[in-house]
Structure 1
Amino acid sequence: MKKLNVVIAGCGDVGCELARQLLALDAFDVWGLRRDISKLPAGVKPIKGNLFEIEALGSWPKHIDYLVYSASSDGGTEEQYRSAYVDGLQNVIQRLEDNNYAPRRIFFTSSTSTFHQSKGEWVNEASKTEPVKFTGKIMLDAENLLNLSPLKSTTVRLGGIYGPGRSRLIDRAKKGQGCPKSPEVFSNRIHMKDAAGIIAHLIQRDDNGFDVDELYLGVDGHPVTMHEILQWLGEKLEVEMDNDNYPAPQRGNRRCSNDRILGAGYQFFYRDFKSGYSKFL
């Protein structure tokens, strides 16, 4: 049976993990678009290109069944965010339209920063989004850009990603930099393997003719306070945490539900931060 073509535009950490999972199914040919193609996993067909320049998007396959836009910003400035998540996405959509590509669906990795809730409230796909920070506003602009496109699409709003190459909280815990227990600051985590796994699952679901919604939250469904995470990591690393002299990491302080993706049949590799970080450590 002929394999389906999947193009991953912005094939970084999550994109490479997605590529590995799809290739393991032996039902997909995977193309990875990035500037440094030497970092692509074995078996991925390379597309050397730059998402930020419409004339430098590289050589694409003649036919695309699914396209995943999973770019990351070169830095933390507003200009860099807009370039990665809005301008780059616009370039890819333009390339698809100009060359008469008709993928079955585009998948976009967004962020839970699109939510404005900041007092520990529960949120889901139906919750309002009125972000205050530019990061959330730009992500919402990118989602709206995709929704206005004539192409069928699905957005996955990912929580805090951890896993190989994503060790920010572990690095902090190694230094003994805890945070106060009160006030509570909630975080929503997802292991990189699950961030990619959700998209792989939805691609297969779409290919098999099952309904796929336009929006999912990509979190493990067990929000936890930053204090609890750091304390637990400190115990595992046998490092005493200083909880008095370091503020809680700046997070959104909301609790995200993953009921919708569970209802779509996805089974998590790591259902909470303890199982995920235990494997990681």
Structure 2
Amino acid sequence: MRKLIIGCGYVGLTVAQEWVKQGHQVSALTRSENNAEKFLSAGIQPVLGDITQPESLESLPESDTVLYAVGFDRSSDKSRHEIYVTGLESALKVLKQRTQKVIYLSSTSVYGQTAGEWVDESSVCEPERENGQVCLEAEQLFDQHGFLSTSSTQSAAARAVILRLAGIYGPGRLLARMEQIRAGEPLAGHPDAWLNLIHLADIVQTVLKIDTNIHLYDRYLVSDSRPITRWEYYETLARLLKAPEPRFESTVPGEISRKSTRFNSTERAAGLNKRCNNKRLREELGVSLTFPTIAEGLPDAIENG
């Protein structure tokens, strides 16, 4: 079968490699001649183009499945809105009649809950930060263009499935934090705030599962099975690295314990993020997570990083 990757980075490239192993014909959009050469050597057919240049998208090939996994390039001169919304809309206009299924990687930042509430696919999305607002606006394009089963007008031949990804980790994605922990440098942020994470391998298996002929919902929240606090995450990482106990920027000088953090009652009640419920992912989609918690996932990420 024919597969197309738009956004062939950390997640997209890994999915592309799996599709190649399965014997599919895989193409990937890229702006870079260097990346095009790397894709060719990996058995991936490069397609030169840029989502922010609509005319370049006319060369997108027909495909059975498209994985849209575009991330924000901080070195680019384009804004988040130009990349996530304007670029996506340009791509959807072309993809409408050129594919059967679009798997779109979104983010749990579309949720605006900040007091430790549990959220799932039915939860209200009222993000306060720009990143979440832009991601939500991008998601809404699929409804506007008729890609969803719940769209009021089915104007697209393709069906879309939106994956709201928690914080991605895995091999090669921990290096900066590992060095910071080893050096005993103070960490930013609230130690009691919740983290929702998902290992690269489980994102990939979710994408592959969705790329089968099964009943699908329009959206899935893709997170592991146990939200953790920032403190627990960094304490676990430090222990695995045999590094000093983590400390946060609010810590009293000379002390490194979590107990020494200075937050008043108002500060403790706010900014705790949300907790993601992955029930639909596990029970409806039937994904059995390889790394259901960081207890299994962090050792793998460190060892293979």
TM-score range relative to shorter protein: 0.7 to 0.9
Match for 1:235 among 235, 239, 249?
A: 239
Name the SS for the 2:116 alignment partner: coil
Structure 1 contact 116–252 (Cα < 8 Å) conserved: no
Partner Cα separation in structure 2 for residue 130 and residue 73 of structure 1: 21
Name the SS for the 1:104 alignment partner: strand
Q: Which runs of 4+ in 1 moved over 6 A?
A: none
Q: Which amino acid aligns with 1:186?
A: W
**Match of 1:67?**
66
Partner Cα separation in structure 2 for residue 174 and residue 158 of structure 1: 28
Alignment pair present for 1:16 and 2:13 = yes
Mean CA deviation greater in 160-169 or 258-267? 160-169
**Match of 1:225?**
229
Q: Which amino acid aligns with 1:224?
A: I
* RMSD across aligned positions (CA): 2.5
How do 1:81-92 and structure 2 match up within 5 A?
Answer: 81-92=80-91
Partner Cα separation in structure 2 for residue 252 and residue 16 of structure 1: 33
1:106-143 deviation per Cα after TM superposition (whole angstroms, max 9, x unaligned): 11100000001111111000000000001000000000
Mean CA deviation greater in 38-47 or 64-73? 38-47
Partner Cα separation in structure 1 for residue 238 and residue 246 of structure 2: 10
Q: CA deviation at 1:164?
A: 2.9
**Match of 1:54?**
54
Structure 2 contact 191–230 (Cα < 8 Å) conserved: no
1:43-77 deviation per Cα after TM superposition (whole angstroms, max 9, x unaligned): 2111122111112237332x311111110111299
Structure 1 contact 6–29 (Cα < 8 Å) conserved: yes
Structure 2 contact 235–245 (Cα < 8 Å) conserved: yes
Q: CA deviation at 1:224?
A: 0.6
Q: CA deviation at 1:39?
A: 4.1
Structure 2 contact 88–138 (Cα < 8 Å) conserved: yes
Structure 1 contact 10–70 (Cα < 8 Å) conserved: yes
Partner Cα separation in structure 2 for residue 69 and residue 236 of structure 1: 34
Structure 1 residues 178 and 257: CA distance shift in structure 2, 3 A: farther
Structure 1 contact 187–253 (Cα < 8 Å) conserved: yes
Alignment pair present for 1:196 and 2:196 = no
Partner Cα separation in structure 2 for residue 71 and residue 182 of structure 1: 29
Unpaired segments ≥5 residues, structure 2: 147-155, 252-260, 262-270
Match for 2:168 among 155, 158, 161?
A: 161
Q: Which amino acid aligns with 2:47?
A: I
1:84-120 deviation per Cα after TM superposition (whole angstroms, max 9, x unaligned): 21111111112224xx42x222111000000011111
Q: CA deviation at 1:245?
A: 3.0
Structure 2 contact 172–301 (Cα < 8 Å) conserved: no
Q: CA deviation at 1:242?
A: 4.2
**Match of 1:110?**
106
Alignment pair present for 1:137 and 2:133 = yes
Partner Cα separation in structure 2 for residue 155 and residue 6 of structure 1: 17
1:3-35 deviation per Cα after TM superposition (whole angstroms, max 9, x unaligned): x11111111110001112222223x22111122
Mean CA deviation greater in 251-260 or 128-137? 251-260
How do 1:197-212 and structure 2 match up within 5 A?
Answer: 197-204=205-212, 208=213, 210-212=214-216
1:188-228 deviation per Cα after TM superposition (whole angstroms, max 9, x unaligned): 11111212221111012xxx2x2111000111121111100
Structure 1 contact 114–130 (Cα < 8 Å) conserved: yes
Mean CA deviation greater in 214-223 or 235-244? 235-244
Partner Cα separation in structure 1 for residue 58 and residue 244 of structure 2: 50
Structure 1 residues 245 and 32: CA distance shift in structure 2, 3 A: same
TM-score (norm 1): 0.87
